[in-house]
Amino acid sequence: MEAGGADAGTATMFVAAARELGGFARIDGLAVLDFGCGQGDLVRALRRHGLEARGADFPQNLGEDGNLSSIQSNPYRLPYPDATFDVVVSTSVFEHAQGTEECMTEIHRVLRPGGIAVHTFPGKWYLPREPHIYVPLVNWFWPLVLRPWLALWALAGTRNEYQKGLSWREVTTLNAAYVRDGLCYYTTRHYNTVSDRVFGNHEWPMQFFIEQGPGGAARLARRLPAKWLTGRLLRELRFGLLLQRKT
């Protein structure tokens, strides 16, 4: 989940997505699920726009908010009846979700016919470094990330915000576990294939993302020419926006 003030901009983008991509003329009361909601900052930002927003995540990630609910892990299940939501959104979730088809199947189940799912997440070829542990090319190598590569960068002093003061051995061990259990960098083709299998469709509305995205990469892309090419590069090398429709 994006942190701090970014949630307000992300909420504004998703409201625009509901209108422009989903075709929802009426926003007030629209039922929205933040998939992988964490502490619920985005849920609260969406509710300030008048949406009936709720969030779901694993219990260890959840904040204390009556609009947030726990995801069941075995079997994997969202805690809502079929056809509950008009829109499902997620931000920086799918690079952690190794069970892509499980997740998308549940998202499809809880969407109402005519609903949309909108996801933003870093691409497989994200540069210049993996955005969680800051080790270059981890996302390129995943799932075959060699421990010596992690050790090399730990020895060079690479640390994320939670690793300050740790030895290189400790950082290497933490990063190896995180790469194994916490990261998932699939290609665009993988997401296309799974989306088509579950939803029967997929779109990458990168022009919309360039126009509405709150991040620095989207802001830079707005100033560049050849938006079709800029959008494709943005999707692969930084962040993409995936759209699915429940027909």
Q: What is the DSSP letter of 159?
A: -
pTM for this predicted structure: 0.94
Q: CATH number of the domain that 14 lies in?
A: 3.40.50.150
Average pLDDT (33-37) is 98
Determine contact, residues 11/42, Cβ cutoff 8 Å: yes
**Integer Rg of the chain from CA:** 18
Q: Look up residue 234 and give its two tokens.
A: 């943005």
The H helix count followed by the E strand count for the chain is: 10, 8
* 155 found inside a domain: yes
Q: Do residues 120 and 44 both lie within one domain?
A: yes
Q: What is the pLDDT of residue 6?
A: 73
Looking at the structure of the chain, the number of domains it has is 2
Residue-wise pLDDT for 74-131, tens only, equals 899 999 999 999 999 999 999 999 899 999 999 999 999 999 999 999 999 999 999 9
* 178 found inside a domain: yes
* 130 found inside a domain: no
* 132 found inside a domain: no
3-class secondary structure, 30: coil
Residue-wise pLDDT for 131-174, tens only, equals 999 999 999 999 999 999 999 999 999 999 999 999 999 999 99
* pLDDT band for position 5 (cuts 50, 70, 90): low
Burial of 188 per CB tally in 10 Å (0-12, 13-18, 19+): middle
* 17 found inside a domain: yes
Share of the chain above pLDDT 70, in %: 98
Of residues 133, 106, 151, 122, the one with CA closest to residue 209: 122
What's the chain's average pLDDT? 95
Residue 164: give the domain boundaries: 138-182
Q: What distances in angstroms separate CA 50 from CA 10, 19, 45, 46, 194, one per listed residue?
A: 15, 14, 9, 7, 32
Strand partners, 54: 33
Q: Do residues 31 and 76 both lie within one domain?
A: yes
The phi-psi region of residue 52 (left if phi > 0; otherwise alpha if psi is between -120 and 50; otherwise beta) is: beta
Q: Do residues 175 and 191 both lie within one domain?
A: no
Query: Is the predicted pLDDT of residue 4 greater than 50, yes or no?
Result: no
DSSP 70-114: EPEETTEE-SS-TT-EEEEEEES-TTT-S-HHHHHHHHHHHEEEE
Residue-wise pLDDT for 164-219, tens only, equals 999 999 999 999 999 999 999 999 999 999 999 999 999 999 999 999 999 999 99
Q: What is the pLDDT of residue 1?
A: 33
Q: Do residues 79 and 115 both lie within one domain?
A: yes
* 218 found inside a domain: yes
Residue-wise pLDDT for 170-179, tens only, equals 999 999 999 9
